[in-house]
Structure 1
């Protein structure tokens, strides 16, 4: 069986300039590309992020995953992370974001998920789109029109998140199903990256660096040079070939559906 998305990825991480401990964790092995950012204000954030990623790392090596696979891994991760808080004054917690490869009726899809304020983007046709929606106080204020994006970048509440794995949160993740297209470039990152680099600079680096490892390394390096106030992790994933009904994934002309003709679809009633 051939994977519905043949992917090439690269990843980089750095503790930054102000922290001695890197509380980020990640997995970047097909079909799983996820970043977790341990919550710095809680006990054992680095353990929480590593624990969450470990539950998904066990899915690496498969051709694709289903929404049920992802939900079950999330359930196990939540149980494990919640267990870290037993007997402690402050709860361990972590964000989690990224994509997994999914097969929908023989076609390649990105199944994106998010809890917290780490981010998942897609670069396609030269346009950088943020797929995930931050679970944060400032995002909620922006959604209500009470805060502008410019003010949000300076707001002292910008690091206060409203959903997480652990840390007393039982909120579910957001999920999206996105039809993949050959040439898609996915960026999964902890909030330390967009906190230092504006979206246009991120888009430029993703556009000019041809190899995903070079792109991930440069993104993290530039974020450190621009301040490095937090841990920084980036995964860059390229769709080398995408399966379409009646066509094998590894190449040739794509006779299938153009991804631009299909809307972003919520899964299971979640945004």
Structure 2
């Protein structure tokens, strides 16, 4: 069994362009707690800043992911590319929804407990284990490419002039996204947490801050709300969303 807890908050923004998926529930405001059995999918999506209809893009993306009848036999890459095409086609058919786009980061747990991670854009997946946080996903962004090439440091990422430039995401009409699907090496152990979040959190809360808050002897729901508050206190100017997934026998 798995316990999933999620929070999404519009922050200082007038609208929330983030959304969460926990099993079969898509949430675009507030919080949710669920005990779930395998197979299931959990994911976060962020309507791309500067693009029209971000709210609809993230919610529609996750509703289409929700409808995947996931199992170990499903070719998830193909299913996700199909979702990208549906978003692109929808935005072409309606001028009001022109160029609607969204990031997507999540996990798919099959009936045997194997965990497949997937990512498009700059939302993130972390694993918390034995008091330490490790980033599992890789940002699909220009600044990450510059870091990989040694042109800038990780610390310089926060204030880089091109920090908001990301590679093609779901719904992009010019290029299909490159979907990173990777089996989670080492899986999950008792006491682990998987954390999925949008950049409204990860850009403003350090790994050390996440570790400190996750270690607190409080309910998981309370700790996630504390992370949201920490991001706001640190000046987050974006919507903030996070899901925590815990495994128990």
Give the TM-score category using the shorter length: 0.7 to 0.9
Aligned residues: 229
- Aligned partner of 2:53 among 44, 62, 71: 44
> In structure 2, what is the Cα distance between the partners aligned to 1:151 and 1:174?
25
Q: TM-score, normalised by structure 2?
A: 0.85
**Correspondence 1:141 to 2:149:** no
1:21 paired residue number: 15
Q: CA RMSD in A?
A: 1.9
What corresponds to 1:248 in structure 2?
Answer: none
CA drift of 1:210 comes to 4.8
Q: Please, which runs of 5 or more residues in structure 2 have no aligned partner?
A: 24-35
How far apart are the structure 1 equivalents of 2:217 and 2:120?
29
Structure 1 residue runs of 5 or longer lacking an equivalent are 1-5, 242-271
Distance 1:73 1:212, change over 3 A: farther
Larger Rg: 1
Q: Report the CA distance between 1:72 and its aligned residue.
A: 4.2
Alpha-carbon distance between aligned partners in 1 of 2:59 and 2:217, rounded to the nearest angstrom? 29
Contact 1:120 1:130 in 2 (8 A): yes
- Shift of residue 26 of structure 1? 1.0
Q: Distance in 1 between matches of 2:167 and 2:230?
A: 28
Q: CA deviation at 1:76?
A: 3.3
Asked if 2 retains the 8 angstrom alpha-carbon contact of 1:205 and 1:218, the reply is yes
Cα distance between partner residues in 2 of 1:48 and 1:209: 36
**What residue is the counterpart of 2:33 in the other structure?**
none
Secondary structure of residue in 2 paired with 1:188 = strand
Rounded to whole Å, the distance in 2 between the matches of 1:121 and 1:67 is 26
Q: CA offset at residue 69 of structure 1? A: 4.9
Does the alignment pair 1:171 with 2:177? Answer: yes
Q: Within the alignment, does 1:225 sit opposite 2:233 as a pair?
A: yes
1:134-187 deviations in Å (ceiling 9; x for gaps): 000000000000011111111021111013111233023101112222222010
Q: Secondary structure at the match of 1:165?
A: coil
